[in-house]
Chain A
Amino acid sequence: AQSVTQLDSQVPVFEEAPVELRCNYSSSVSVYLFWYVQYPNQGLQLLLKYLSGSTLVKGINGFEAEFNKSQTSFHLRKPSVHISDTAEYFCAVRDTGRRALTFGSGTRLQVQP
């Protein structure tokens, strides 16, 4: 069965600092991986996804993530965050043979001035 672990429930960071949000997954088969972002009082939006090919994936708003199969990780990074990046970030995984996404518990990114 697929599962996702987001190791940090909250990440405080100062504006213009780099940030990494960690995500590890568990699956017995090949996977597709996703990061979604939820701004306050809104639904989730797709930030980026890994389906195949290059392990470094670039998304919207300057975010990128790297798929590491040996470490079963898909960490999200941004070299310089803005106040507007304050949101909750969800990692999600889907086994290639399944139709449903499994979401992690979320990481709240709090960008401080």
Chain B
Amino acid sequence: EAQVTQNPRYLITVTGKKLTVTCSQNMNHEYMSWYRQDPGLGLRQIYYSMNVEVTDKGDVPEGYKVSRKEKRNFPLILESPSPNQTSLYFCASSVRVDGEKLFFGSGTQLSVL
């Protein structure tokens, strides 16, 4: 089954404790992206990647890192999480580098205390 898999589904952590949210897709998509969803703000792009070893900042990249060492994986790293990073995070992928039709994961609800 074609899918984008994120883990974990829920995560509670404390300020400053490094964490990684994993994202994997099995559709051989070139384009992958991370979004955060906050009430009243919709989805805002954090980082995106057009292919292996090619990443770029989205609209809200501060406090986040990503890597794209393999085509299928695109982990999101928070090296020193802060409470304002409490949010619902989505990973998405697309066949085309322009992200025309995005396939989304089920989301990761992160709470930073």
Smallest Cβ-Cβ distance to A46: which chain B residue: B101
Contact call B90/A43, Cβ cutoff below 8 A: yes
Smallest Cβ-Cβ distance to B106: which chain A residue: A43
> A42 vs B36: C-alpha distance in the bound complex, in angstroms?
14
For chain B, give the interface size range: 20 to 34
Q: Which residues of B contact A30 (CB under 8 A)?
A: none
B residues contacting A by CB (< 8 A) are 4, 31, 33, 35, 40-45, 48, 50, 58-59, 90, 92, 97-107
Besides A100-B59, A101-B45, 18 other A-B contacts (C-beta < 8 A): A6-B42, A9-B40, A36-B102, A41-B106, A41-B107, A43-B90, A43-B105, A43-B107, A44-B90, A45-B104, A46-B101, A90-B42, A94-B100, A99-B97, A99-B99, A100-B45, A103-B43, A105-B40
